Chains A and B, each alone.
Chain A
Amino acid sequence: MYRRDGSVALRGSSAPLYNNLSVLRPPHKPAACLGTVHGHAVTVVTAGGDAAGSAQRQLQPRAGGGASLVTQAAWCVLPARILLVLTCQKGIEMYESDGSIMVYWHALDVTEHPPGKSAAGTQSGAPWEHKLCLPEGSLQQANVSSAWRPPSTSSSHPCAGMSSGMVLVFDIPHKGTNITVSEVLKEHHDPITDIAAELGQAPDGAGDLVTADDAGTLCVWGSAEDFALLTRIPGFGWTCSSVKLWNGLIAAGYGSGQIRLYEAGTGALRAEVSAHARWIYALDLAPATGQLLSGAEDSFVHVWKICRNPDTDDVEMEHCHAECVTDTQICGARFCDPDGNSFAVTGYDLSEIFRYSRV
């Protein structure tokens, strides 16, 4: 059982974008920040103990000149540093975790060719050109060495997906601004909706990155050396709006309201849930317990539990909790701790972030 235990008032509200809530969960610490996107800005809320103790700031991407619609904001927890990454119509911006200093700006040009531009390389051109391209970046933290794994793994590669279907892989140094595009993955033919890195321990050969697109196609990647496509899971007529990867299991949420679990190594379907009555907008997974959180346009948030029986290899999934956020089309839902004891929810036109904890 979970109970609402407070809310954070926002100056704006949350735009109806998939996965429109990010939570900064630094390793071994409680949630530090919440971020939600609306229009031309990201609202970053410092998650203090109570609502009164929380500070709020608005961040507007300015690189490239003029205001630009923000499509996603996410914190990337890398072994040596934490970055706040914004995607907007004009490009991708990376900031220090508190949003104070911009360390990298990647312009998206008209043709969306893999640009490989240097940091601070701004794109000049007539406004027409910018208007025509409208590349909707969709970004998730896909740092291979994520917060929940020992930070000994060498590589750390945040990825950003684009409306063309391309996924940009960035190479981030331990410090400084020498950030580069190390690879461009071109296996998707539809706009990228979500990207997920392995949150637990990947079985051998299962891959450690999943990308999802508007047509429902999932691609599983291994990133041992270069990124290599391991499995392609075809769609079934519905957008896959949100995806998570945990211990070699893919959890995917679809426009049909279904959640599906796939084996990342083989692409085999292991579970199918008729979970929501409307379009799913957000999934999250608590890596320490295997609890799954789903939120949809039907105003419901559900908590599930996934486990894999080590003896029989059976995948089990059970329903744990249903929460109706009355008259709210949910657009973001995240756990606030690795055990899944608390979560936060945003909704379209809702000028608050609701917080829930286990009773």
Chain B
Amino acid sequence: MSARTLPLLFLNLGGEMLYILDQRLRAQSIPGEKARKDEWTDVDRKRVMNDIITTMFNKKFMEELFKPQELYSKKALRTVYDRLAHASIMRLNQASMDKLYDLMTMAFKYQVLLCPRPKDILLVTFNHLDAIKDFICDSPGILNQVDETFRQLIEVSIFLKDKVQNSNGRFVLPTSGPVPWGTEVPGLIRMFNRNGDEVKRAEFTTGGNYVTPQREGSFELYGDRVLKLGTNMYSVSRPAETHTSGSSKTLASSTKENIVPNPLAKEELNFLARLLGGLEIKKPGGSETGFRLNLFTTDEEEEYA
């Protein structure tokens, strides 16, 4: 496994988290003048997004993240996002956090598996970062932080085939559309003699319906990424399929967790605590009311179940 996987994993999962939070916060927000003190407004949503993004792209944290290293354990990574989601005035209960994390990992797994080429994982990441920049377009300070990370990513050319395994369902694999940039549409056999001259061609039907890609996605700071994986799936209004408890149950039964205690886990967690501990965690206090957010409507049923 590449020692440079961690930043990509962190940024992409973080991007998915922001998509979901943004969508849920919008759905639950109440126009400012009508809101009671304990209800969500657009101002609160922007503040939450700003706070989380600021924490995510904290300079010191990013420096640590970009150092070549092994991946965090699953537990440690989950802890990072727990802390991140609570970096602002929003509070999530356990059920909400579980579902949030399920959705994030499911979405990124989909993106990794359907990535046409390893290099395109970078485009997926850029799509996430592009969207994050849109979230905070009013705050030039944070924007700079994100751009800084962007530049680091562009510098690091990473070939990666992430082999994260999480069996929570099958994805639809299209057998049509563009083939990966730099490859050919299947269907041709060329044969050569010993001197390297082409002596014969044969065509065959593949059963798929592929086309040549128009152009490669842009790996620059700004540009058309072409690839749609990693863009905001939640921005289009569609019936939100947020009930994931079914899939998490099958996940639990089909995935065999490594029950052998990992001696490194504690070390990793301590390290993370040091990193995140240095960050300012905003505690609701004084005149401010803390906000609890039920991400999904099924939360209450489950709490009482």
Q: Which residues of A contact B (CB under 8 A)?
A: 12-13, 15-17, 38-41, 66-67, 127-128, 131-132, 134, 136, 237, 255-258, 263, 266, 268-278, 298-300, 302, 313-319, 322-324, 326-329, 348-351
Contact = CB atoms under 8 A, between A and B. Distances in A.
Contact of B202 (A256, A277, A318, A327): A318
Contacts of B256: 12, 39-41
B183 A256 contact: yes
Contacts of A38: 165
A261 B186 CA distance: 16
Contacts of B173: 298-299, 326-329
Nearest to B178: A277
Given A317-B191, A322-B206, A327 B172 contact: yes
B191 A274 contact: no
Contact of A257 (B183, B191, B194, B260): B183
Given A127-B263, A128-B264, A329-B173, A15 B206 contact: no
Contacts of B287: none
Q: Report which residue of A13, A277, A326, A328 has the largest number of chain B beta carbons within 10 angstroms of its beta carbon.
A: A277
Given A300-B207, A318-B202, A322-B207, A263 B194 contact: yes
A131 B167 contact: no
A77 to B, nearest CB: 29
Contact of A270 (B180, B182, B192): B192
Interface of B: 1, 70, 113, 116-118, 163, 165, 167, 169-173, 175, 179-180, 182-194, 196, 199-200, 202, 204-208, 210, 254, 256, 258, 260, 263-264
A53 B68 CA distance: 49
Main DSSP-derived SS at the B contact region:
loop
B194 A298 contact: no
A300 B208 contact: yes
A318 B206 contact: no
Contacts of A302: 206
A272 B190 contact: yes
Nearest to B194: A268
A269 B207 contact: no
Q: Report which residue of A266, A278, A299, A319 has the largest number of chain B beta carbons within 10 angstroms of its beta carbon.
A: A278
A271 B189 contact: yes
Q: Report which residue of A13, A136, A273, A315 has the largest number of chain B beta carbons within 10 angstroms of its beta carbon.
A: A273
Given A17-B163, A299-B173, A317-B191, 12 more contacts: A16-B113, A39-B165, A255-B118, A273-B190, A274-B187, A277-B179, A318-B202, A319-B189, A322-B204, A323-B207, A324-B208, A348-B113
B188 A319 contact: no
Nearest to B193: A314
B197 to A, nearest CB: 11
A330 B17 CA distance: 30
B228 to A, nearest CB: 17
B170 A273 contact: no
A250 to B, nearest CB: 14
Contacts of A317: 189, 191, 202
B163 A278 contact: no
